[in-house]
Amino acid sequence: MLDLSRYQNLAAFNAASFLGTGPDAFIGFQSESLEVARLTPEVFRGLTKVSLASSVIPQTFESSLSSEDSSELKTWNDEVPVVETKKAKTQFKAKSLNINVTQICNLKCTYCAAGGDGSYGDPVKRIEIEKTLPQLSYFISKLDKGERFHISFLGGEPLLYPAAIRAICEYVDGAAKEKGFVPSYKITTNGTLLNDDILNLLSTYKPTVVVSMDGKPEIMDRFRPQKNNKPTSQAIETTLAKLNTVRSKIGPLAVHAVFTKDHTAVLETYEYFRQFNFDWIDFIYSVSDLDEASNEQYMLEVTKTAKAAWDLGGEVELRKIYLFDNYFDRLDSQERLENHCGLGRSFAVIDSRNQVFNCPWTVGSVQDRLGSGSVLDEAKLAEYAEETIIERNNCQSCWAKYMCGGGCSFIHQTTSKKDTLQKSLQFCERTRFLLALALYYYAIAREEPI
């Protein structure tokens, strides 16, 4: 699928091997400095072929490589990064919170990772706001002036309880004026419950609104039905039409689509989404689906989708797809990432019982609970400070490590303990492939000769 070669800190690939069309295009990537460059065929062939799944680091060149090319590659290989690695603080400070304002939902998505009904096995109708505000006060007290503080509202379906969202935003905005930190908000919703009260909420606090929407109406109605078995697609399309009439009054509008072995039609989904004029689109493969054939199909579909986006509008259109925008930002800044997320360092999840967890996917898991209210387990938090996620997930030899940040600890099963690693090679292969795809388009966008 990907013609990949490597030498120490250098990875290289022939883009034609996954584009399936066009002339050979050899792209080199320096994994420490995050630099991208065009390679000649001779230089590419002088590196050692490796598989997409391989973590072996070749230490020598092929005999065909000239001494001049060898010298240039060694010089590039030894370059130090321009920007220091982005590390989370070792002392826990929550700069990003997910709050499950409900743990009930009006849908019953077939692939739901939250117990099939948004409850995580503990259906709580709504959060107790009188407990949540003092809890927020504790986290806010740790912030410094000028720091950013982000809150994502989740569920279940968070818009079943808009009053809690309003109360939290009002409280945080007030605290921000007093302490001088910078708040931001996001609501992830199934998009079926829009009314005038919710529109007022969106226009007042301008959160990013992320609609969970997996594809065309027939896909939505099959995989994301309402609990009363009525279709959801019409309700969501009505919501999006109404939101588009007030776009200037609300925050960014985005869509989050999940793909599984039963649904890998990324290009078809992208083409359907374009009519709604989303600010960005997030395509992900299900964290629980381990089907190898559909994992490969998903990668091929993203490849076709990237080409379609590029042909439509170049870098601007391509970067509406979140994964490309994220990679482009990191390559532009050359800022290395050692922590895929803020697990146990700068991020936490508050469930509807005001318990604190380390990850959205671990809500309800006793071993992943960090505390309750404003009382946190300092001993457990100290464990996360011992090492980066790259180290925790044993990713030191991977050429994509500083773009990936060590990968998803939930998928690799290291959210609780670092010695329980069960690395998902499918996740790693998918990440490396999609990074290579992004590197190709980055090279084009930055006018490297291809």
Name the residue ranges covered by the structural domains of the chain: 3-82, 88-450
At residue 187's C-alpha, the angle toward residues 185 and 193, to 5°, is: 145
Taking the C-alpha atoms of residue 225 and residue 245, their distance in angstroms, rounded to an integer, is: 26
0.85 exceeded by pTM: yes
pLDDT of residue 448: 56
Q: Is the pLDDT of residue 148 over 80?
A: yes
| CATH no., domain 88-450 | 3.20.20.70
3-state secondary structure of 127: coil
Q: Share the mean pLDDT of the chain.
A: 92
Q: Give, as one character, the DSSP assignment of residue 153.
A: E
Share of residues in the chain with pLDDT > 70 (%): 95
Q: Is the pLDDT of residue 84 over 80?
A: no
List strands edge to edge, sheet with 35-38: 35-38, 26-30, 10-14, 3-7, 48-50
pLDDT of residue 104: 85
Taking the C-alpha atoms of residue 246 and residue 206, their distance in angstroms, rounded to an integer, is: 12
pLDDT of residue 80: 84
